[in-house]
Amino acid sequence: MSEIDISMTINGQKIEAKADPRTLLIHFLREDQNITGPHIGCDTSHCGACTVDMDGLSVKSCTVFVGQANGKDITTIEGMAHADGTLHALQTAFSEQHGLQCGFCTPGMITRAYRLLQENPDPTEKEIRYGISGNLCRCTGYQNIVKAIQVAAKELSSVKEAAE
Amino acid sequence: MNDQTQISREQRIEKLQGQGCNRKRVEDVRFTQGKGNYVDDIKLPGMLFGDFVRSPYGHAKINSIDTEAALKVPGVLAVITADDLKPLNLHYMPTLAGDVQAVLADEKVLFQGQEVAFVVATDRYAAADGVDQVLVDYEALPVINDPHKSMDDDAPTLREDIAGKMEGAHGTRKHNNHIFFWEEGDKEGTDKALADAEVVVEEKITYQRVHPCPLETCGCVASMDKVTGKLTVWGTFQAPHAVRTIASLITDIAEHNIRIISPDIGGGSGNKVGVYPGYICSIVASIVTGAPVKWVEDRIENLTATAFARDYHMTGKLGATKEGIITGLSAHVLADHGAFDACADPTKFPAGFFSIVTGAYDIPVAHVGVDGVYTNKAPGGVAYRCSFRVTEAAYLIERMINILALKLDMDPAEIRMKNFIKKEQFPYNSALGWEYDSGDYHTAMEKALEAVDYKGLRAEQAENRAAFDRGETRSLMGIGIAFFTEIVGAGPVKNCDILGLGMFDSCEIRIHPTGSAVARLGTISQGQGHATTFPQIIASEIGIPAEDITLEEGDTDTAPYGLGTYGSRSTPVAGAATAMAARKIKAKAQMIAAYLLEVHDGDLEWDVDRFQVKGNPEMHKTMKEIAFAAYSVAIPGLEPGLEAVSYYDPPNMTYPFGAYIGVVDIDVDTGVTEVRRFYALDDCGTRINPMIIEGQVHGGLTEALAITMGQIISYDEIGNISGGSMIDFFLPTAVETPNWETGFTETPSPHHPIGAKGVGESPNVGGVPALSNAVIDAFAHKGLTHSQMPHDHWRVWQTAQKLGLTE
């Protein structure tokens, strides 16, 4: 199969590569680009472990062909921390609120929560629960994940207010 | 010299971050940044990928396997079939239950999804292409999808490899499709007690086939180094040392030439205890090709072929007095083990610890019998977030006691209080032979009833029922109580082993000269937070701050031998080993301190992080000072260094318990059931890290919700699986999952060095009966005594309809 040219921005860095057109974005990220934060938990778009941010939308990278991501701006868990190395409020809150156990869903969950808080900076508990319902966790029962997102939302809005 | 004299004793204790504090997890810094290292993250130079050809049939003869087209697929290097494995005697592998399992199907397939051929290719896409091109000629055979029909006279023989061989691993088999009969207790006495009882209730209670479905599937990377002859396997192993020994026994590779590494594991829940064909095929493929081979199953393969759980078809009988005092219990189980007996139980317990079925109650006489049978279903029978078959047992007794309460028109809380083992009866010897270590059931139950205002809830329910009958609401309220006693921490080597390997566990601690340490254990975390909690135990024992202790697990070349993490055994067994190893270090530290302080070691006392002279605390040596001295001072009669190892063989299991109460609201016209509130009181003995305990309880309750309200794996009459993907296997999202309320009492285990009992599995064990009891309780006043799980909307609606309640 002839390969196609791929160019995209991953976590702020422009990359160029060649790929078999049927390659899934998750495999391209994990196996060609060594971005192993996003995980594979199903293959059917149910679990959300592979969630990445693509041009401002949460997508499940197990059901996106690499060609569909051509020219796009991708952010994964690896791109969540600030340029100075300090962690994003969500990363800190997940740890502080014990919002993770085995850690397998965490990269997808945080990446999804990141977009959720862009879409809705002050979500209710119900909005958070619906907002992350495309991401499964088998360890935490979601309770502390929801708490972590609430805490991060508060933190982010107070930082924003202080800046204004 | 002494930088700690200026801070108070309280500050010194706080600095340790020892037992009992909510220490934040040290694992999180990697996981929140995508820096976990799970098996599929491992990438080695020249690594190949393996993928399986799987059976589309539930039962079929294999006439031929044609690999020619597959071998022409670009990138495909090899296709391995049973015929290739036969000369190596690897076409069958031993299971943990004393049976054998086909690594690759030999002449016939026995369940849908069974491994038929292993395609090895340069990448995962080429491997999948190769799988598509393997042509297998099958001839369908009659299927057994109902365990009740397995032992019919005209049932087809499933396991031709053992046909006629009537002596099984657990005694005589009654039929070619029979695996074992196992019993415990006094049958005659129980029959008499039931015959004499004033009241007897009997019910058929099924605990459906479900699956642990951890978010990460099973997989491995096998790498045979042909130069050194050393085989390294990274894999999703809950018991890495046992895997090494088994791998050595079945491959004839010397054990010192095998290194098993469990990297980060994305949840286990029992699914990753066993040995799967993928591991064997990857090892063989690596030996054949000389390259590392990765195999990672996809989700559908995980749900259809790697270890299921439960599938227990139980009949319970309780006898009691008119006042509700239980006089006897009998239980029979038909256990569907699928096509191979691959249960992960201690070897002498083919039905696990099902004989904990007398639960929290003082039942004078009891008998259980379990028949295991083969069917055309996937093998397994693992303990899905529970100790071996304990959740099945808890479900049976907790349903039966509710049925008895209904028959006697008694409150389910009251009948439990009447029958509980009393605090002063511990250690308590159960009718089925267990010695319960400690408990205070009445206090726990009372605390839980009070926490939810149980009387208030029952009053509200009475109003709800009246309003329903008046036609003012279409919603019914149900209240479910469960009181469970678990048996975890297998276990004493005298009666617990896996394939002959005693179920002790281990910890090795090395103190570095500057006073920090590394601890290595025979267990392996899958999310339990071992790297956080085990250092807390050490910190409290020997006064080294938890943050100065590195914890390592999962590498058989470095960790001491242990039996791994499942059955809530890490804290009861390896946690005990950790405390014992720390105490050995402390004993030596005392001698060193005595030498340094020029006093007799008997004149010293331990205080938080130091040895001090009795009556003169100003004269002391901190553990940090002692550590340095161990490596720098020549002490007559003492070896240099400061390290210790403990292999701990527990004298008994531990018996955590808990009182759970759930409240549901059911829309009778749709069957939609909402969990309004759920309160879980757990007593897991000494609490090492309450934050982690509560997190475990939240997660376990969510799994209980999944099982009770929706999970089921079933097979149709020709052996097609349903429930084999996340499309139709229920995993709750954040929307269906309620907020869980937690509480605790603390009754230490008298035989455990720090009194801890284990908690990870309690919420699954107690949560399922509590939720099921709540759903059934909603209809109890309309005559419902029992309905089978899962209580999904459709089935609940059917129940309402049968009772004539729907519009």
Under 8 Å between Cβ of B191 and B331? no
Nearest to A104 among B267, B529, B701 (CB): B267
pLDDT digits (tens, 9 = 90+) for B424-434: 999 999 999 99
Cross-chain residue pair A140–B41, CB shorter than 8 Å: no
CA contacts within 13 A on the Cβ side of B450: 8
Under 8 Å between Cβ of B306 and B236? no
Residue of A77, A143, A144, A146 for testing the chain B interface, max B β-carbons within 10 Å:
A143
The least confident of A156-160, B176-180, B182-186, B212-216 is A156-160
Provide mean pLDDT across the span B263-288: 95
Instruction: Return all residues near B152 (Cβ < 8 A) that are at least 6 apart.
Output: none
Q: Give the closest residue to B13 by CA, choosing from B490, B389, B680, B543.
A: B543
Query: Taking the CB of residue B63, how many other CB atoms lie within 10 A of it?
Result: 10
Distance from the Cα of B160 to chain A's closest Cα (Å) equals 35
Q: Do both B733 and B629 map to the same domain?
A: no
Domain boundary, last residue among B615, B648, B681:
B648
Place of tokens 């591991």: B279
Provide mean pLDDT across the span B420-441: 98
Strand intervals (E) in B499-633: 501-502, 505-511, 517-521, 549-553, 604-607, 610-613, 616-622
pLDDT higher than 90, residue B467: yes
Under 8 Å between Cβ of B210 and B707? yes
CA distances from B141 to A11, B52, B61 (A): 54, 22, 7
> How much is the pLDDT for B1?
44
Q: Is B661 helix (H, G, I), strand (E, B) or coil?
A: strand
CATH architecture of the domain with residue range A4-76: Roll (3.10)
Q: Do both B341 and B446 map to the same domain?
A: yes
> How much is the pLDDT for A1?
59
Would you tell me which CATH number, out of the four given (2.20.25.10, 3.30.1330.10, 1.10.150.120, 3.40.50.300), belongs to the domain A89-163? 1.10.150.120
Query: Over the Cα atoms of chain A, what is R_g?
Result: 16
Q: Give the closest residue to B686 by CA, choosing from B476, B488, B537.
A: B537
Report how far residue B744's alpha carbon sits from residue B658's, in angstroms, rounded to the nearest whole number: 8
Parts of chain A belonging to CATH 1.10.150.120: 89-163
Instruction: Let me know if residue B148 belongs to a domain.
Output: no
Instruction: Let me know if residue B152 belongs to a domain.
Output: no
Question: Could you please report the per-residue DSSP string of B712-774?
Answer: --EE-TT--EES-STTTS----TTTPPPPEEEE-----TTSTT-B---TTHHHHHHHHHHHHH
Q: Is B202 helix (H, G, I), strand (E, B) or coil?
A: strand
pLDDT range class, residue A90, cuts 50, 70, 90: very high
Residues of B tagged active-site = 238, 385-386, 761
Q: Give the closest residue to B579 by CA, choosing from B506, B679, B518.
A: B506
CATH at B644? 3.30.365.10
Provide mean pLDDT across the span B413-417: 98
Cross-chain residue pair B725–A44, CB shorter than 8 Å: yes
Q: Is 0.95 surpassed by the pTM of this model?
A: yes
Query: Taking the CB of residue B46, how many other CB atoms lie within 10 A of it?
Result: 10
pLDDT digits (tens, 9 = 90+) for A38-87: 999 998 999 999 999 999 999 999 999 999 999 999 999 999 999 999 99
Under 8 Å between Cβ of B376 and B209? no
Query: Over the Cα atoms of chain B, what is R_g?
Result: 28
Beta strands at B48-54 and B293-296: parallel, antiparallel or unpaired: parallel
Q: Do both B620 and B534 map to the same domain?
A: yes
Tokens representing B545 are: 């701050």
Binding-face residues of A in 13-42 toward B, CB within 8 A: 20, 22-23, 27, 30-31, 34-42
Question: Could you please report the per-residue DSSP string of A73-95?
Answer: EEE-GGG-S-TTSPPPHHHHHHH
> How much is the pLDDT for A43?
85
Query: Taking the CB of residue B187, how many other CB atoms lie within 10 A of it?
Result: 15
Q: Do both B638 and B523 map to the same domain?
A: yes
Identify the burial level of A44 via C-beta atoms within 10 angstroms of its C-beta, where 0-12 means exposed, 13-18 middle and 19 or more buried: middle
Tokens representing A60 are: 């499940």
Under 8 Å between Cβ of B328 and B365? yes
pLDDT higher than 60, residue B709: yes
Parts of chain A belonging to CATH 3.10.20.30: 4-76
Cross-chain residue pair B41–A128, CB shorter than 8 Å: no
Q: Which residue of A has its CA nearest to B44?
A: A31
Distance from the Cα of B124 to chain A's closest Cα (Å) equals 10
Report how far residue B141's alpha carbon sits from residue B59's, in angstroms, rounded to the nearest whole number: 5
pLDDT higher than 70, residue A144: yes
pLDDT, averaged across chain B: 96
pLDDT range class, residue A23, cuts 50, 70, 90: very high
Residue of B29, B32, B302 for testing the chain A interface, max A β-carbons within 10 Å:
B32
Q: Give the residue, A163 or B469, on which the prediction is more confident.
A: B469
**What range defines the domain where residue B134 resides?**
39-143+217-265+272-305
Instruction: Return all residues near B610 (Cβ < 8 A) that are at least 6 apart.
Output: B4, B543, B593, B620, B621, B622, B623
> Is the bond preceding B790 in cis, omega lying within 30 degrees of 0?
yes
Nearest to A129 among B27, B216, B735 (CB): B735
> How much is the pLDDT for B6?
77
Instruction: Let me know if residue B189 belongs to a domain.
Output: no
Under 8 Å between Cβ of B625 and B612? no
Q: Do both B641 and B676 map to the same domain?
A: no
Q: Do both B486 and B590 map to the same domain?
A: no
Provide mean pLDDT across the span B712-720: 97
Q: Do both B454 and B476 map to the same domain?
A: yes
pLDDT, averaged across chain A: 97
Nearest to A103 among B36, B298, B739 (CB): B36
pLDDT higher than 70, residue B710: yes
pLDDT digits (tens, 9 = 90+) for A101-136: 999 999 999 999 999 999 999 999 999 999 999 999
pLDDT higher than 80, residue B708: yes
Interface A–B counts its CB contacts (< 8 A) at 182
pLDDT higher than 60, residue B422: yes
pLDDT digits (tens, 9 = 90+) for B523-577: 999 999 999 999 999 999 999 999 999 999 999 999 999 999 988 899 999 999 9
Distance from the Cα of B703 to chain A's closest Cα (Å) equals 7
pLDDT higher than 60, residue A91: yes
Report how far residue B17's alpha carbon sits from residue B377's, in angstroms, rounded to the nearest whole number: 48
Instruction: Let me know if residue B206 belongs to a domain.
Output: no
Query: Taking the CB of residue B696, how many other CB atoms lie within 10 A of it?
Result: 28
Cα-based torsion angle of the residue sequence B50, B53, B58, B59 in order, rounded to the nearest 10 degrees: -110
pLDDT higher than 90, residue A160: no
pLDDT higher than 60, residue B277: yes
Cross-chain residue pair A138–B727, CB shorter than 8 Å: no
Q: Give the residue, B250 or B687, on which the prediction is more confident.
A: B687
Domain boundary, last residue among B283, B305, B327:
B305
Domain boundary, last residue among B648, B663, B693:
B648
Say how many domains are in chain B.
Answer: 3
Specify the DSSP class assigned to residue B25.
P
Binding-face residues of A in 133-162 toward B, CB within 8 A: 133-146
pLDDT range class, residue B5, cuts 50, 70, 90: low
Contacting residues of B for A98, CB less than 8 Å apart: 24-25, 691-692, 694-695
Distance from the Cα of A91 to chain B's closest Cα (Å) equals 5
Determine the distance from the C-alpha atom of residue B70 to the mean position of all C-alpha atoms in its chain, rounded to a whole number: 39
Strand intervals (E) in B419-575: 428-429, 435-436, 475-485, 497-498, 501-502, 505-511, 517-521, 549-553
Q: Do both B395 and B515 map to the same domain?
A: no
- b vs e for B76-95, b when ≥16 Cβ sit within 10 Å of the residue's Cβ? bbbbbbbebbeeeebbbbbb
> How much is the pLDDT for B387?
86
Q: Do both B623 and B770 map to the same domain?
A: no
Q: Do both B252 and B115 map to the same domain?
A: yes
Query: Which ranges of chain A would DSSP assign to H, the alpha helix?
Result: 25-27, 89-96, 106-119, 125-131, 143-163
Report how far residue A17's alpha carbon sits from residue A119's, in angstroms, rounded to the nearest whole number: 31
Nearest to B695 among A30, A95, A144 (CB): A144
Q: Do both B348 and B485 map to the same domain?
A: yes
Instruction: Let me know if residue B159 belongs to a domain.
Output: no
Contacting residues of B for A152, CB less than 8 Å apart: none
> Is the bond preceding B492 in cis, omega lying within 30 degrees of 0?
no
Both ends of chain A: CA-CA distance in Å?
53
pLDDT higher than 90, residue A164: no
Cross-chain residue pair B733–A133, CB shorter than 8 Å: yes
